[in-house]
Chain A
Amino acid sequence: MSDSEVAVHNPALRHHFAEVEQQRNASSLGMWLFLVTEVMFFGGMFCAYLVYRTAHFGDFAAASSTLDLKLGTINTAVLILSSLTVVMAVWAAQTGKQKALVMYLLLTIVLGLAFLGVKGVEYAEKFEKHHVPGPTFHFAGAIPGHPDHPADPRHAEMFFSLYFVMTGMHAVHMIIGIGLFAFLAFKASRGAYTPAYFTPIENAGLYWHFVDIIWIYLFPLLYLIDRHK
């Protein structure tokens, strides 16, 4: 088989591809398509959120204003920073900087864990305030700008349902991403990635950026509904 010569040059080339370039393109296209499916997956939730936010705007704004804006902002910054470290990791892999690659991957993991930690603090606060949907749910806020007009607690409960589902699903994706980077860091420390082959780093990076972008939408939609009043 004529491929066997090429395979000697690059052990990462799998049998069914003719050349490295083709394999790289296939992996990259596959990753982008996977992200498309992720967009649709989150799209269902965003759709539900937008429908109810339009239907019960005042109540959603009231519920939203109880979220911790400071922690949300910190988390946004943490995530954007982690995107930077991912980009640096890809660059390090591209240029063959072995140690830097492992370091940036570990840094990304640390930032990801920091995000989850802050999220945990926020979740704990919801439990304390009885803002977790279910039999113990309690909400007594007024509609922003209308202090004598109490918000409908049932609609507030829907807001928090969506809040937990959306941020929860986002957190699940973060945990998967952290696991992915832990695996890649382990492999990278053993020299698995070279300037000739670093597709897994690139694809994991794409995934991480996607998870970031989801947050970039979640943050204003959930935290900033009606903050200007």
Chain B
Amino acid sequence: MATTAVTPERANYLNAEYGVKSWLLTVDHKRIALLYLLSVTLFFFLGGFFALLIRLELLTPAGDLMQADTYNKVFTMHGIIMVFFFLIPVVPAVLGNFLMPIMIGAKDLAFPRINLLSWYLYVIGGLLILHCMLTGGVDTGWTFYPPFSTSFSNTKVVEAGLAVFVSGFSSILTGLNFIVTVHRMRAPGMTWDRLPLFVWANYATSIVMILGTPVVAITIVLVALERTLHLGIFDPKLGGDPLLFQHLFWFYSHPAVYIMILPSMGVISELITCFSRKRVFGYKFVALSSVAIAVLGFLVWAHHMFVAGMSLYAGLIFSFLSFFVAVPSAIKVFNWTATLYKGSISFTTPMLYAFGFLGLFTMGGLTGLFLAALGVDVHVTDTYFIVAHFHYIMVGGVLMGYLGGMHFWWPKISGRMYPEFWGKLSALIVFLGFNLTFFPQFILGYMGMPRRYWQYPPEFQILNVLSTAGASVLAVGYLLPMIYFVWSMRYGKPAPDNPWNAAGLEWMTSSPPPTYNFDETPVVTWEAYNYEELNKKEEVPVER
């Protein structure tokens, strides 16, 4: 099976069935992953379109492209789409869905039909937000803060809330499915300390998904009820407390940042070990730091509210805990660096993305420490410093991990190789474009430019022009992979089963895998990332 290079028609999940129905009613996790891939990509470019509008407006100090009302709707739509319809599902629902069962040697997720239901919920939420966008939009910001959202905004808050609510259940069901799958579906011999780190990362993510998402769901329901039925929950007129909303909202929405970044961290662990040809340094620490981030991530939410009127003592505690959550993240970065040490590193496209991740995530993480410090935070709250900080994590970190992972597993997903030259070029363009876009925003924010305004004083223009220029470079960097991935599906070289000579069960099945992933249930007798063994045998171990 391994030596026959030209067998493109081997039975696999892609050619098992044809037709629209075979896709829309599929329960195969790999096909559902591709459904997600299509839909999140659509939303990514839609959210990117709004980002483009923002950057174009900010090219000049005056409000010339649009007025304040439109600008408010544009940044709200950018936020809602990118957070709820792209960043949160992207890595778990695409790469996680595709890889989790294969990596643990299972035929599918524990609940394949619920998995399909997740995708449909995502699509329904997506259609709702599209409808909301086309019929007037919403101007509350993606955070829906009352009393503005409940009493004053004249835009479609309820519909946008409903969209977030429905897509939230998509995320809850995905998390539930992953946890049960990891607990119950592992192949014989696949013990917890042999799990790939990508699985650990997604497991930790799933914990956050099932514990956090229901809270934001009920919070949005309360906002909607207060808005439509005039119940008194957060309304200060009745003695209600808008701060309570912020607490409930950030109880989910801060951990949501970890929903976004943890799976990408998992991807990076896979990439760095593979392209350093070494076992990951401190496997247990990297694995458990994911869980630690998930747990500690729940204890830091109020650092979004340092200037909101919260008690100073609460502020002190949340400040301390926010510093504390940096520890497991730092453990990961140090362990990745230690993995690189004396490794035989190859600069393939996925590895370039991984390096990009390391740089951008470290920048984002360290500036996060500035913000965890009460004094600095008060100075830069609601400025572009914050905007730059979370884009370094959420775009720099998450997207670098996602794109790195997409290149790494593309041969497995599509059965074709992507063009390496263009891949490297895209990694370079994304890295440069990203820094050009967002580094100036750190300076802008530190100089005092507030976020969410459509105009600004003329002295901020140079940096804003740099940022807009960077955004257009970044756009090219994101369009490139989409073009050559589509190109490669037809013209790419057929991929061997294990093009990277990588460890992990996903590389021991064919590319693309058959519908039930393995012809025979694998029995795992080796440790994770056994690159020392793999290096000895130059050839892929395929005695299956």
A51 proximal to B (CB < 8 A): yes
A204 to B412, CA, bound (A): 39
Complex interface: chain A residues within 8 A of B215 (CB)? 40-41, 43-44
Q: Give B491-528 as 1s and 0s: 1 = Cβ < 8 Å from A's Cβ atoms.
A: 00000000000000000000000001000010000000
Q: Give B198-240 as 1s and 0s: 1 = Cβ < 8 Å from A's Cβ atoms.
A: 0000000000001111110111011001100111110001111
Complex interface: chain B residues within 8 A of A45 (CB)? 218, 222
**Which residue on A lies nearest to B210, using beta carbons?**
A37
B241 proximal to A (CB < 8 A): yes
Interface residue from A33, A56, A133, A165 paired with B180 (Cβ < 8 Å): A33
A47 proximal to B (CB < 8 A): yes
Complex interface: chain B residues within 8 A of A29 (CB)? 179-180, 183-184
B475 proximal to A (CB < 8 A): no
Q: A165 touching B241 by the CB < 8 A rule?
A: no
Q: Which of A189-223 contact B (CB under 8 A)?
A: none
A164 proximal to B (CB < 8 A): yes
A18 to B104, CA, bound (A): 14
A34 to B211, CA, bound (A): 10
Complex interface: chain B residues within 8 A of A36 (CB)? 210-211
A48 proximal to B (CB < 8 A): yes
A134 to B516, CA, bound (A): 56
Complex interface: chain A residues within 8 A of B237 (CB)? 154
Q: Which of A6-53 contact B (CB under 8 A)?
A: 14-16, 18, 22, 25-26, 29-30, 33-34, 36-38, 40-45, 47-48, 51-52
**Which residue on A lies nearest to B111, using beta carbons?**
A30
A165 and B231 in contact (CB under 8 A), knowing A16-B516, A42-B218?
yes
Q: B179 touching A22 by the CB < 8 A rule?
A: no
Complex interface: chain B residues within 8 A of A37 (CB)? 172, 176, 210-211, 213-214
**Interface hub of A25, A37, A134, A154 (most chain B Cβ within 10 A):** A37
B489 proximal to A (CB < 8 A): no
The number of chain B residues touching the other chain, given as a range, is 35 or more
Interface residue from A25, A40, A157 paired with B232 (Cβ < 8 Å): A157
B260 proximal to A (CB < 8 A): no
Q: Closest Cβ of chain B: how far from A164's Cβ, in Å?
A: 7
Complex interface: chain B residues within 8 A of A38 (CB)? 214
Q: B238 touching A44 by the CB < 8 A rule?
A: no
Complex interface: chain A residues within 8 A of B377 (CB)? none
A52 to B233, CA, bound (A): 9
Q: A154 touching B230 by the CB < 8 A rule?
A: no
Q: Give A133-166 as 1s and 0s: 1 = Cβ < 8 Å from B's Cβ atoms.
A: 1110000000000000000101101100110110
Q: Give A80-110 as 1s and 0s: 1 = Cβ < 8 Å from B's Cβ atoms.
A: 0000000000000000000000000000000
Interface residue from B231, B239, B244 paired with A56 (Cβ < 8 Å): B239
A48 to B225, CA, bound (A): 14
Complex interface: chain B residues within 8 A of A74 (CB)? none
Q: A133 touching B248 by the CB < 8 A rule?
A: no
**Which residue on A lies nearest to B226, using beta carbons?**
A161
A74 to B516, CA, bound (A): 53
Complex interface: chain A residues within 8 A of B177 (CB)? 30
**Which residue on B lies nearest to A36, using beta carbons?**
B210
A55 proximal to B (CB < 8 A): yes
A153 to B253, CA, bound (A): 33
Q: Closest Cβ of chain A: how far from B237's Cβ, in Å?
A: 7
Q: Closest Cβ of chain A: how far from B121's Cβ, in Å?
A: 14
Q: Closest Cβ of chain B: how far from A31's Cβ, in Å?
A: 10
Q: B176 touching A16 by the CB < 8 A rule?
A: no
Q: Give B109-120 as 1s and 0s: 1 = Cβ < 8 Å from A's Cβ atoms.
A: 111101000000
Q: B229 touching A133 by the CB < 8 A rule?
A: yes
B108 proximal to A (CB < 8 A): yes
B416 proximal to A (CB < 8 A): no
A48 and B248 in contact (CB under 8 A), knowing A42-B218, A134-B230, A162-B233?
yes
Q: Closest Cβ of chain B: how far from A127's Cβ, in Å?
A: 13
Q: Closest Cβ of chain B: how far from A143's Cβ, in Å?
A: 15
Q: B238 touching A157 by the CB < 8 A rule?
A: yes
Complex interface: chain B residues within 8 A of A47 (CB)? 244, 248
A56 to B214, CA, bound (A): 27
Complex interface: chain B residues within 8 A of A43 (CB)? 214-215, 218
B389 proximal to A (CB < 8 A): no
A6 to B358, CA, bound (A): 48
Q: Closest Cβ of chain B: how far from A96's Cβ, in Å?
A: 26
Q: A25 touching B184 by the CB < 8 A rule?
A: yes
Q: Closest Cβ of chain B: how far from A45's Cβ, in Å?
A: 6
A34 and B176 in contact (CB under 8 A), knowing A15-B107, A48-B222?
yes
Complex interface: chain B residues within 8 A of A155 (CB)? 238-239
Interface residue from A30, A40, A48, A165 paired with B214 (Cβ < 8 Å): A40
Q: Closest Cβ of chain A: how far from B453's Cβ, in Å?
A: 32
A31 to B449, CA, bound (A): 49
Q: Closest Cβ of chain A: how far from B99's Cβ, in Å?
A: 16
Complex interface: chain B residues within 8 A of A133 (CB)? 229-232
Interface residue from B114, B240, B521 paired with A52 (Cβ < 8 Å): B240
B296 proximal to A (CB < 8 A): no
**Which residue on A lies nearest to B181, using beta carbons?**
A26
Complex interface: chain B residues within 8 A of A51 (CB)? 241, 244
Q: A26 touching B184 by the CB < 8 A rule?
A: yes
Q: Which of B163-178 contact A (CB under 8 A)?
A: 172, 176-177
A44 and B214 in contact (CB under 8 A), knowing A30-B111, A33-B176?
yes
**Which residue on A lies nearest to B225, using beta carbons?**
A165
Complex interface: chain A residues within 8 A of B222 (CB)? 44-45, 48, 165
B373 proximal to A (CB < 8 A): no
Q: Closest Cβ of chain A: how far from B302's Cβ, in Å?
A: 14
A147 to B108, CA, bound (A): 65
Interface residue from A18, A26, A34, A158 paired with B238 (Cβ < 8 Å): A158
Q: A165 touching B233 by the CB < 8 A rule?
A: yes
Complex interface: chain A residues within 8 A of B106 (CB)? 16
Q: B232 touching A161 by the CB < 8 A rule?
A: yes
Complex interface: chain A residues within 8 A of B218 (CB)? 41-45, 169
Task: Please name 22 pairs of A and B residues whose Cβ atoms are closer than 8 Å in the assembled complex, sorted by A.
Answer: A15-B516, A16-B108, A26-B183, A29-B179, A30-B111, A30-B180, A37-B172, A38-B214, A40-B215, A41-B214, A41-B217, A44-B214, A47-B244, A52-B239, A52-B241, A134-B230, A135-B230, A152-B239, A158-B232, A161-B232, A165-B221, A165-B231
| Contacts A16-B108, A40-B211 known; 20 new A-B pairs at CB < 8 A | A16-B106, A29-B183, A30-B111, A30-B177, A30-B180, A37-B214, A38-B214, A42-B218, A44-B219, A45-B222, A47-B244, A52-B240, A55-B241, A133-B230, A133-B232, A155-B239, A158-B232, A161-B238, A165-B225, A165-B233
- Give the 3 A-B residue pairs with the shortest CB-CB distance, closest first: A41-B214, A161-B231, A44-B218
